Amino acid sequence: MAPPRKHETDVILDATRALVLTAGPRAASVAAIAKASGAPAGTLYHRFGNRDGVVIAAWLRALDRFQQRALAATGRTPVAHAAAMAVAAVGFARELPDDARLLLTIRPADLVDSQSDTDFTETLAAMNAPLTQRMRELTLQLYGTAEPRALDAVYRAVSDLPYAVVRRHAHDDPLPGWLEADVSAAVRALLHSYGEKGDEADGIN
């Protein structure tokens, strides 16, 4: 059995995240990350390749944590399922506020020094694919079609609304206790406002 790593990856990524949130992505140099995490620079290069690799790993970890919660959300009906996915975003921000702030404030393009990073782009697309497919499936269940306008209606309710709410309250500590209930109600209202099938799916009519 391999010996445990002396410098845990999560400790390194936590230190990187703190540097990025405090002073921006460029503050997370290899030297700064090494100092903040206690891991030698050689360990960072060996494990992540370069400075971009460490920063990207911290951001992708946050994205993965969010997506796991969104994909795990379920509901008795399509509308309830959609509401649960939106509420999962609030729960993520409540449980892991620094990860939420990282995703809210840092664009993928801000993470890398190079003009393009094909591996990062491909990894991001692969990570987003299951959630994209889930949104399409929900749209079909809600409205019987996945045409662009219907899909946009679902994205407004399930993605855009909780994103805006979490951004508004990103620095509240703690988040308001009523936020999940209000987001759930708002999602249902948005979905119902788009088409009758949403109401039928939720057992309202």
Q: List the chain residues with pLDDT less than 70.
A: 1-6, 113-116, 196-205
Give me the pLDDT at residue 110, please. Answer: 81
Give me the pLDDT at residue 51, please. Answer: 92
Give me the pLDDT at residue 114, please. Answer: 62
Give me the pLDDT at residue 181, please. Answer: 99
Give me the pLDDT at residue 14, please. Answer: 98
For residue 45, the tally of other CB atoms under 10 A from its CB is: 15
At 98-154, the pLDDT tens digits run 999 999 988 877 877 665 678 888 999 999 999 999 999 999 999 999 999 999 999
Q: Give alpha helix (H) positions in the chain.
A: 9-23, 30-37, 41-48, 51-72, 78-95, 97-105, 118-143, 148-155, 161-168, 179-194, 196-201
> CA dist 147 to 76, 128, 190, Å?
24, 20, 17
